[in-house]
Amino acid sequence: MENQFFVDSNYLSKEALDKKHRLENDPTSRSNHMEYMPGMEIIESDVCSNVMEQMNSYDYSKYTAADVRRALEHETCSIEDFKALLSPAAEPYLEAMAQKARNITSMHFGNTVYLFTPLYIANYCENYCVYCGFNCYNHIQRMKLDLEQIEKEMKVIADSGMEEILILTGESRQKSDVKYIGEACKLARKYFRMVGLEVYPVNSDEYKYLHECGADYVTVFQETYDADKYETLHLMGHKRIWPYRFDAQERALMGGMRGVAFSALLGLSDFRKDALASALHVYYLQRKYPHAEMSLSCPRLRPIINNDKINPLDVHEKQLCQVLCAYRIFLPYVGITVSSRESAQFRNGIVKIAATKVSAGVSTGIGDHESKYTGKEKSEDMGDEQFEINDSRSLNKMYDDITEEGLQPVLNDYLYV
């Protein structure tokens, strides 16, 4: 592998430290982020070129209040209307956007809110992404759950009443290979009605295998669609290859996955352009794969352990709300997830407007759920978290709060026959 040293302690060899320093300070020491590595599947698709053409030509400063009003008046939201709704000119119209988004959400999703929880099963990573707590140079406690530990965590989560789980790993094929992830999917199918994956991108035949093991859908964060900015944030590892990551959802659909989810991590680059690209990524794939379920999330940067390498671009709650409302107006049938990165107050509000899915009982550490759900003291050898969460409500608390908002919490709406 490109990187063989995983940081299990506060020690890095001199060779590793020298390489880290070169990667940070000498761009010529990095591989070409647009060039595929051996073994990476290349697919023929025009989705990327369509998205990037629209994003690169997007000048949101040119849109006016009149453009925004016209967009809100149209029954169907065009790409041009969507660009206006994402622009600064739309900020004074946030209340009107929220009302339109609320009506659309109610029309297509009723008053339902879906609940799920993530389960991190490993935090080893071979990538050097400067903003991520799992990056291979970060001094954190590393851990990989064995199958017995995974099943124990899953049983604890299932006993709480949860019926949908999202399985996550750090991005290391060496430590968390496809077979290991597949075995986790098989275990998950014993306990849950819906099984999602948020792991490193793989080829379409590997997605097919994971689907056969029990995975229903795949989530991949592009992080930022700005390829130049992406290069400065992803300094080493397979994740550095921007186009391979971009095509991950399409490869997953080619492999038979029922659904795919998309996101940029707002705050890494220009959030308006990243929001535009994220939604257009969905828009163009919807037209190629109309049978597939697609969803968007809208995470913002959160604090991580030992974070001194990234100065995030602030995206405030009002701007986040604008993006989510614009998503709903442009893509009426798409699910929208708001994670525990956001506050309880914000999530309670946005589920009444645009969001259709929220996480509950969240831990981003490895092996945390038994202590979180049962009150047992956390073992010292558990793995550190990827980032700090903002909303730590349990499933029961989230369920009650959603109900009090006049909405219907949903744990699952699929029947397998």
pLDDT value for 35: 97
User: Does pLDDT of 6 surpass 60?
Assistant: no
Q: What is the average per-residue pLDDT within 170-187?
A: 97
Q: Which two tokens stand for residue 107?
A: 């029309």
Give 4's pLDDT tier (boundaries 50, 70, 90): very low
pLDDT value for 252: 98
Query: How much is the pTM?
Result: 0.91
pLDDT value for 372: 57
Q: What average pLDDT does the structure give for the chain?
A: 90
Residue-wise DSSP of 88-146? GGGGGGHHHHHHHHHHHHHHHHTTEEEEEEEEEEE-----EETT-TT-TTS-----B--
Start-end of H helices in 214-343: 227-233, 242-246, 248-254, 271-288, 317-330
Give 415's pLDDT tier (boundaries 50, 70, 90): low
pLDDT value for 12: 63
The secondary structure of residue 266, as a DSSP letter, is: B
Q: Which two tokens stand for residue 19?
A: 């390489």
Q: What is the average per-residue pLDDT within 216-228?
A: 97
pLDDT value for 18: 84
Domains and CATH numbers, the chain: 14-32+48-410 (3.20.20.70)
How much of the chain, in percent, has pLDDT values that exceed 70? 88
pLDDT value for 3: 44
